[in-house]
Amino acid sequence: MSVRQEVRDRILVVHIEREAKRNAIDVETALGIDAALNRLDDDPELWVGVLTGTRTVFSAGTDLKDGLDFRTERGGEYGVIRRRRVKPLVAAVEGVAFGGGFEIALACDLVVASAGARFALPETLRGLVPTSGALFRVIRALPLHVAKELLITGAELSAEQARQFGFVNRVTEAGQALEGALAVAEEICASSPVAVRAVLDAVAAQLADDDRRGWEETARAMETIRGSADSREGIAAFFERREPRWTGR
């Protein structure tokens, strides 16, 4: 199994464990995340979730060999991206959170990252566009010009930069992101779970219209690049491990 669940009192820890593939998400992994978060949603004894990778990597996003982003009924892409949650979910990030991995972190409520964590959206370097929420969530999470730079250059953001911009809540020492996220989760558990869920539901309701527009614009961007020569070239170059030769078509 590529996803492991662990219960610590009121906290459900979801581990993505596909390190040989940099925790890239395939169908099995998406189903594993979905099952874990369904459990978090449905079990009244669980109050907070922590989503993490391994000690060296959070997630490099979609496993391109497995095709396009797989959606589950309740969670959408990766089992988490479109999930309407009322229980808080904390991302614990070690190493890279690239592409869909960054988008998974953007879908969480809080982010704890180790000092060596890095965030990036490299899709345009492959002739693609982010498809799992980054086109609208990253411009809410970061200053607009910083977000644009990430989206159109593939530039990386360090954990400390992400904290300074307000996306990362806390930065830990290397290897300590999970411990830091568990500490945050325990702090959340000191609050009334009814009140916490009411707050998150109210916040989500206020963002719902923006999210709908964001998904519409994401679909439009995907249609623009679908079937383009550049998208085919970008994917081919990725698998052939060479620089792409863009034509602008």
Residue 162 in any domain: the answer is yes
Q: What is the pLDDT of residues 176-209, one digit of tens each?
A: 999 999 999 999 999 999 999 999 999 999 999 9
The string of DSSP codes covering 93-123 is: E-SEEETHHHHHHHHSSEEEEETT-EEE--G
Distance, CA of 117 to CA of 164 (rounded, Å): 14
Domain count, the chain: 1
Residue 198 in any domain: the answer is no
Residue 213 in any domain: the answer is no
Residue 224 in any domain: the answer is no
Residue 241 in any domain: the answer is no
Residue 32 in any domain: the answer is yes
Q: Which amino acid is at 148?
A: K
As annotated, the active-site residues are 103, 123
Residue 227 has pLDDT above 90, yes or no: no
pTM of the complete model: 0.96
Residue 187 in any domain: the answer is yes
Q: 128 lies in which domain range?
A: 3-193
CATH of the domain at 169: 3.90.226.10
Share of the chain above pLDDT 90, in %: 93
- For residues 38-67, average pLDDT: 93
Residue 52 in any domain: the answer is yes
Look at 36-50, 62-76, 118-132 and tell me which has the smallest mean pLDDT: 62-76
Q: Could you tell me if 81 and 130 are in contact, meaning their C-beta atoms sit under 8 angstroms apart? A: no
